[in-house]
């Protein structure tokens, strides 16, 4: 019923990812589950420095590779996200492969 707390190695951040089939909510929790594919842990690890990752699946219908590239660039250049060039490439590949819903 309840998923165990998961530690994201390298970030020292403990996230409580609780999910349950209850019909009504009595709290709110950070969603950290993204599709399990190469690049996921890096993507989650960098994005959650500033924001939870619900934005990624919810924005998928509006995104393609070019849009993800623009978003990653905005996060790095405008918002100061500490992401190296090599990491940006891996994050782009992961997001494009798993969350590009726009034709």
Binding site for another protein (CB under 8 A): 13, 15-16, 18-20, 22-31, 48-52, 54-55, 57-63, 67, 71, 78-82, 101-102
Instruction: Find the shortest distance in angstroms from Cβ 72 to another protein.
Output: 12
Cβ atoms of 54 and 94 within 8 Å: the answer is no
Instruction: Find the shortest distance in angstroms from Cβ 90 to another protein.
Output: 20
Rg of the chain on CA atoms, in Å: 14
φ/ψ bin of 33: left (φ > 0), alpha (ψ from -120 to 50), beta (otherwise): beta
Structure tokens at 2: 């309840």
Instruction: Find the shortest distance in angstroms from Cβ 24 to another protein.
Output: 6
Whole-angstrom distance between the N-terminal and C-terminal Cα of the chain? 37
Nearer to another protein, 36 or 103 (CB): 103
């Amino acid at each position: 019923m309840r998923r165990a707390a998961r530690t994201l190695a390298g970030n020292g951040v403990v996230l409580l990812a609780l999910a349950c089939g209850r019909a009504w909510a009595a709290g709110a929790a950070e969603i950290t589950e993204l599709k399990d594919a190469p690049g996921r842990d890096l993507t989650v690890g960098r994005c959650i420095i500033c924001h939870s990752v619900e934005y990624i699946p919810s924005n998928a219908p509006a995104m393609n590779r070019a849009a993800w590239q623009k978003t990653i660039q905005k996060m790095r250049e405008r918002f100061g996200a500490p992401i190296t060039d090599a990491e940006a490439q891996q994050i782009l590949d992961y997001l494009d492969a798993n969350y590009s819903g726009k034709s």
